[in-house]
């Protein structure tokens, strides 16, 4: 933490700041300059909320130096985390593909899509059983009934099941019948839910919130890890911006940004990230090319009849083409260990 005093700050004001720092058990380091004084703070174990200094007389600015996270960092664990789900992996050399409908609507729909997913060679099947919908009058998922269909899909096709939990009891059910707990964008800062997921044995797929900074997203992962569950997969699914040609703006730069800070695997969701079927394949290719560890893609056997998010679902044949394209790309664009922390050599 660095506190920059105003040019005209007097000795008394500087002393007052120094005193407040000491009251918190920290060590102040006064650094007088030509035009103004800066005061460094050391002795803190973790981050300090420096905003409290902002309104003290004579203070011009407060600058944070220490980062607020620990467990997610490469400092803690320099090699990349590989999440294992049975014999499938996310974060390793394999490109992880999670595909399926937005919501489970019927046995026939789920099976038709699951067959396409299995045939593509993907290992994970997604499908909403409880759906978070903006409107209370929109389709809210099949609940229990959807869950029975999911179990049959799992057994019949041998796919790993990824389902979103909206509340704590949902996690109990996923633990019984599913494989990966998904925390959705709207719940990225539902801290009770994060803590419950952190006490689970199952891996957690954590979607980025619609307006989450990278730091907030990583801190949400830190919440899960702080409870003991280190199997966290980050999922970039676009953020809300002023643009109107897509539902969200897919922020692919988050992938190399995370690589530079964290050991956690990160995948990309081009379906929510764009909201339109015709954009999904190009952005899936981009996601793989930027170095993501996998993709999450929505597929529906009859997108025009889908009960939710039909506009962004691919047909089985469009999906098969997507998988073919991204697999080819992956072969030449596999992220290597040396790539992420690339830096210039000093002259």
Q: If binding is defined by CB under 8 A, does position 320 make contact with a copy of itself?
A: no
For a copy of itself, give the closer residue by CB, 85 or 165: 165
Q: If binding is defined by CB under 8 A, does position 68 make contact with a copy of itself?
A: yes
Q: If binding is defined by CB under 8 A, does position 334 make contact with a copy of itself?
A: no
Q: How far is the CB of 129 from a copy of itself (least distance, A)?
A: 14
Q: If binding is defined by CB under 8 A, does position 135 make contact with a copy of itself?
A: yes
Q: If binding is defined by CB under 8 A, does position 152 make contact with a copy of itself?
A: no
For a copy of itself, give the closer residue by CB, 102 or 233: 102
Query: Which positions from 201 to 240 touch a copy of itself by CB under 8 A, shown as an x/- string?
Result: --------xxx-xxxx--x--xx--x------------xx
Helix (H), strand (E), coil (C) string for the chain: CEEEECCCCCHHHHHHHHHHHHHCCCEEEEEECCCCEEEEEECCCCCCCHHHHCCCCCEEEEECCCCCCCCCECCCCCCCCCEEECCEEECCCCCEEEEECCECCCHHHHHHHHHHHHHCCCCEEECECCCCCCCCCCCCCCCHHHHHHHHHHHHHHCCEEEEECCCHHHHHHHHHHCCEEEECHHHCCCHHHHHHHHCCCCCEEEECCCCCCHHHHHHHHHHHHHCCCCCEEEEECCECCCCCCCCCECCCCHHHHHHHHECCCEEECHHHHHCCHHHHHHHHHHHHHHCCCEEEEEECCCHHHCCCCHHHCECHHHHHHHHHHHHHHHHHHCCCCCCCCCCCCCC
Chain residues 26-55 in contact with a copy of itself, contact rule CB under 8 A: 29, 31, 33-34, 38, 40, 42, 46-47, 49, 51-55
Chain residues 6-25 in contact with a copy of itself, contact rule CB under 8 A: 7-8, 16, 19-20, 23
Task: Give the binding range for a copy of itself (CB under 8 A) out of 84-92, 118-126, 229-237, 311-319.
Answer: 311-319
Q: Of 11, 86, 155, 346, which one interacts with a copy of itself (CB under 8 A)? A: 346
């Amino acid at each position: 933490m660095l506190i920059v005093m105003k040019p005209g700050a007097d000795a008394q004001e500087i002393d007052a700041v120094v005193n407040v720092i000491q009251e918190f058990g920290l060590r102040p380091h006064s650094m007088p300059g030509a035009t103004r004084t800066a005061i460094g703070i050391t002795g803190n174990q973790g981050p300090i909320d420096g905003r409290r200094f902002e309104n003290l007389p004579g203070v011009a600015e407060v600058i944070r130096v220490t980062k607020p996270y620990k467990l997610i960092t490469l400092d803690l664990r320099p090699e990349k985390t590989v999440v294992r789900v049975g014999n499938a992996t996310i974060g390793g050399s394999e490109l992880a593909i999670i595909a399926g409908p937005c919501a489970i609507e019927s046995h026939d729909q789920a099976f038709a899509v699951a067959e396409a997913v299995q045939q593509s060679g993907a290992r994970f099947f997604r499908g909403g059983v409880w759906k978070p919908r903006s409107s209370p009058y929109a389709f809210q998922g099949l609940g229990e009934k959807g869950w029975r269909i999911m179990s049959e899909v799992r057994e019949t096709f041998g796919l790993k099941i990824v389902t979103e939990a909206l509340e704590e009891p949902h996690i109990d059910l996923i633990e019984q019948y599913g494989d990966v707990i998904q925390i959705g964008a709207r719940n990225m800062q539902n801290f009770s839910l994060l803590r419950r997921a952190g006490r689970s044995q199952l891996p957690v797929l954590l979607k980025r919130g619609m307006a989450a900074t990278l730091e907030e997203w990583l801190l949400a992962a830190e919440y899960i890890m702080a409870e003991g569950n280190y199997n966290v997969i980050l999922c970039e699914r676009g953020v809300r911006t002023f643009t109107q040609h897509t539902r969200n703006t897919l922020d692919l730069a988050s992938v190399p940004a995370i690589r530079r800070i964290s050991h956690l695997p990160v995948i990309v969701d081009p379906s929510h990230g764009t909201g339109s079927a015709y954009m999904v394949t190009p952005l899936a290719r981009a996601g793989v090319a930027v170095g993501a560890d996998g993709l999450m893609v929505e597929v529906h056997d009859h997108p025009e009849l889908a009960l939710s998010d039909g506009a962004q679902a691919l047909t089985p044949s469009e999906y098969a083409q997507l998988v073919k394209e991204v697999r080819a790309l992956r072969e030449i664009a596999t992220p290597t260990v040396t790539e992420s922390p690339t830096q210039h050599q000093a002259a």
